[in-house]
């Protein structure tokens, strides 16, 4: 058994009794009340999911396994000369809650390496898809096509015990995650670089290998690491995480679950928002003839947009302050691209949008979220195809959702099945029988 799997097994033995005790002795203890607004309104804020992988505080933002983003960047191991922690070490941390040693990180690197060969049929499927397919459709289809090799499916049919399901979800997750950088970079080069594919370099870590296969030089490897870490998890209620969890709760394998996760992420109200931010910024840039607007000019663009819509990248269902993922990327921009025109636009927006949204009183959260900053960095390093940005989000999110799914199986969570009511039933609750 690999070091990571062994560590996970130890952790599961400690954690499982906690869940069992809650279920056995405290199952009837009330946690929350639910109102009609929440039932009709997308189950907003209903406390009905459990995860220890991350927690989103509305005012503080995300904590991964108890650590804030600056703490993650500071405490997790970095390879010599690197600015960002390795994705491999971060995944170890997400899965186990422990900060790995360099040796433990190296073991994960080796594990990913040994599982990274993408089957030829995946490339053939991608090549046979219509040239105008969305990269998210291609990414999702590629992942789905690999479900035929799911170890969990094989073992399930052989009748393995429920208590060890997690082991096969772990194997499938490792097999899948190891292949994501190559599949995503293949889609990118196939679609936008005339199919000029760059083979992987097994000596490189997850982030650097991705940058290499994208054909983008340093410090894009740092961008990749930062991006995958920042987008990995945002507790369980967001559409992508919840979809992955829900699908896997039916014991659909990890390939089904992660493909479904991506399909949810592909919506404009979720992961596609980063694409919309860049489209909006470029619209303004075109009107300005490439010049950086004054504060007054930018305010006018914002007012104009607000007459008919929203400012993309601003607001969040849970957050009530600036997204720390935005701040982390902003710091990166201040260090690496402080004079970039597009970054100056973003910076100006950060100054003018929140007061306007506050003054209009429409937005519950007038602050920028992760999407307001991420596309700018990609654009700067030459990834100018907006529609690809969500694929990058998807690679990161798969790290968190795989961790959650493995834990859900380990803790024996059942199939998810909330109860629905009819409108008449809600009316009866609201104003009694007519
Ligand atoms: C996410 O990272 O999933 C988004 O910020 C959306 C959310 O948390 O609801």
Q: Whose CA is nearest to atom 1 of ligand 1?
A: 234
Region 382-401: mean pLDDT is 97
CA angle 33, 38, 42 (to 5 degrees): 135
Could you tell me the pLDDT band of residue 363, with boundaries at 50, 70 and 90? Answer: confident
Which helix (H) or strand (E) segment holds residue 57: the answer is strand 54-57
The predicted structure's pLDDT at residue 98 = 98
d(CA 111, CA 355): 49
What is the domain partition of the chain in residue ranges? Answer: 120-219+231-269
d(CA 111, CA 107): 6
What's the fold here for domain 120-219+231-269? Answer: Citrate Synthase; domain 1 (1.10.580)
Res. 434: pLDDT tops 90? no
The predicted structure's pLDDT at residue 329 = 98
Which residues on neighbouring strands pair with residue 365, listed in sequence order? none
Residue 191 Cβ contacting ligand 1 at under 6 Å: no
Q: Whose CA is nearest to atom 2 of ligand 1?
A: 234
Could you tell me the pLDDT band of residue 400, with boundaries at 50, 70 and 90? Answer: very high
Which residues are known to be catalytic?
270, 316, 371
The predicted structure's pLDDT at residue 389 = 96
The predicted structure's pLDDT at residue 48 = 96
Residue 234 Cβ contacting ligand 1 at under 6 Å: yes
How many residues would you count in the chain?
434
The predicted-structure confidence for 15-24, as pLDDT tens digits, reads as follows 999 999 999 9
Provide the mean pLDDT of the chain: 97
Q: Whose CA is nearest to atom 8 of ligand 1?
A: 238
The predicted structure's pLDDT at residue 433 = 75
Sign of the CA dihedral running 313, 316, 321, 325:
negative
Res. 385: pLDDT tops 80? yes
Sign of the CA dihedral running 186, 188, 189, 194:
positive
The predicted structure's pLDDT at residue 330 = 98
Half-sphere exposure of 159 (CA within 13 A, CB side): 0
Residue 274 Cβ contacting ligand 1 at under 6 Å: no
What is the number of the ligand 1 atom nearest to the C-alpha of 370?
Answer: 5
Mutate to test the pocket of ligand 1, among 228, 274, 276, 316 (most ligand atoms within 8 A of CB): 316
Share of the chain above pLDDT 90, in %: 97
The predicted structure's pLDDT at residue 232 = 98
Q: Whose CA is nearest to atom 7 of ligand 1?
A: 238
The predicted-structure confidence for 155-211, as pLDDT tens digits, reads as follows 999 999 999 999 999 999 999 999 999 999 999 999 999 999 999 999 999 999 999
The predicted structure's pLDDT at residue 349 = 96
């Amino acid at each position: 058994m690999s070091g990571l799997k062994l560590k996970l097994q130890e952790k599961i033995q400690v954690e499982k009794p906690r869940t069992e005790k809650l279920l056995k002795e405290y199952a009837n203890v009330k946690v929350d009340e639910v109102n009609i607004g929440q039932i009709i309104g997308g189950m907003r804020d209903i406390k009905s999911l459990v995860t220890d992988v991350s927690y989103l505080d509305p005012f503080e933002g995300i904590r991964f396994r108890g650590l804030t983003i600056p703490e993650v960047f500071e405490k997790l191991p970095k390879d010599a000369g690197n600015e960002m922690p390795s994705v491999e070490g971060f995944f170890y941390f997400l899965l186990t809650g422990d900060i790995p040693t360099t040796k433990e990180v190296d073991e994960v690197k080796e594990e990913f390496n040994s599982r990274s060969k993408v089957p030829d049929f995946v490339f053939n499927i991608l090549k046979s898809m219509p040239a105008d397919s969305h990269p998210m459709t291609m990414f999702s289809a590629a992942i789905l096509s690999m479900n035929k090799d799911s170890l969990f499916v094989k073992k399930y049919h052989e009748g393995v015990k429920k208590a060890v399901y997690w082991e096969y979800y772990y194997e499938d997750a490792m097999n899948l995650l190891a292949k994501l950088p190559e599949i995503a970079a293949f889609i990118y080069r196939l679609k936008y670089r005339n199919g000029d594919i760059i083979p992987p370099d097994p000596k490189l870590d997850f982030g650097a290998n991705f940058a290499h296969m994208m054909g983008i030089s340093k410090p894009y490897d740092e961008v990749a690491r930062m991006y995958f870490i920042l987008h990995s998890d945002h507790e369980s209620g967001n559409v992508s995480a919840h979809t992955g969890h829900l699908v896997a709760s039916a014991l659909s394998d990890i390939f089904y679950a992660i493909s479904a996760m991506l399909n949810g992420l592909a919506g404009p109200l979720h992961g596609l928002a980063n694409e919309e931010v860049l489209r909006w910024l470029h619209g303004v840039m075109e009107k300005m003839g490439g010049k950086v607007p004054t504060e007054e000019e930018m305010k006018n663009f914002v007012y104009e947009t607000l007459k008919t819509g929203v400012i993309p990248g601003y607001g969040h269902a849970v957050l009530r302050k600036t997204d720390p993922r935005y701040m982390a990327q902003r710091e990166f921009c201040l260090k690496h691209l402080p004079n970039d025109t597009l970054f100056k636009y973003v910076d100006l927006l950060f100054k003018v949008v929140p007061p306007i949204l506050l003054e209009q009183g429409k937005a519950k959260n007038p602050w920028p979220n992760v999407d307001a900053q991420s596309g700018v960095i990609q654009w700067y390093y030459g990834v100018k195809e907006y529609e690809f940005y969500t694929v990058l989000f998807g690679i990161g999110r798969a790290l968190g959702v795989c961790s959650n799914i493995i834990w859900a199986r380990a803790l024996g969570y059942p199939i998810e099945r909330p109860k629905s009511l009819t409108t008449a039933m809600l009316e009866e609750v609201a104003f009694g029988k007519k």
